[in-house]
Amino acid sequence: METAVECTHCKVVMTSWSAPGSPIRYYQCPFCARTHSSLYGEVFQRRAGARLVGAPAATTAGIPMASPEDVRWARVKATAARWFARLEAEQRPTAPSAAFPRRARTAGPSDDVPEADPADVVEVGGRRHGRV
């Protein structure tokens, strides 16, 4: 008899899958998206995020399952949490930009600034050593 795995955080049965030919089975909570592997049995023994439920996985009577609406709302909440975190991060001033405010754009060659005529350019050199 196959046992179901329950998320200890959300108290719902986790979905499971495995690769063809692999003895390792993966379990994921439809609400919080925590994933556990059958390779690490201590997770199930110590109930560290997942626990074994003694009911068969095929019969879901009495085992709380996440409805599609619950899964959709969990995704909406996760998206909103990411959006609010990004918004908060954008509002916090960062050290480099606060210390060095942006300067106004300097005039470039395309602005209405006349270019210097090469004949008007004078080379200025430093003092040579030994001469006063």
Residue by residue, DSSP assigns 35-69 as EEETT-HHHHHTTSSEEEEEEESS--TTS----HH
Structural domain boundaries in the chain: 5-52
Look at residue 1 in the predicted model and tell me its pLDDT. Answer: 40
Look at residue 16 in the predicted model and tell me its pLDDT. Answer: 86
Residue that wins the pLDDT comparison between 19 and 105? 19
Write out the two tokens for 80. Answer: 């909103």
Task: Tell me: pLDDT of 108 over 70.
Answer: no
Q: What is the pLDDT of residues 47-105, one digit of tens each?
A: 788 888 875 544 455 566 777 788 888 888 889 989 999 998 888 876 555 555 566 55
Q: What is the pLDDT of residues 2-13, one digit of tens each?
A: 678 888 888 888
On whether the CB atoms of residues 102 and 94 are closer than 8 A, the answer is: no
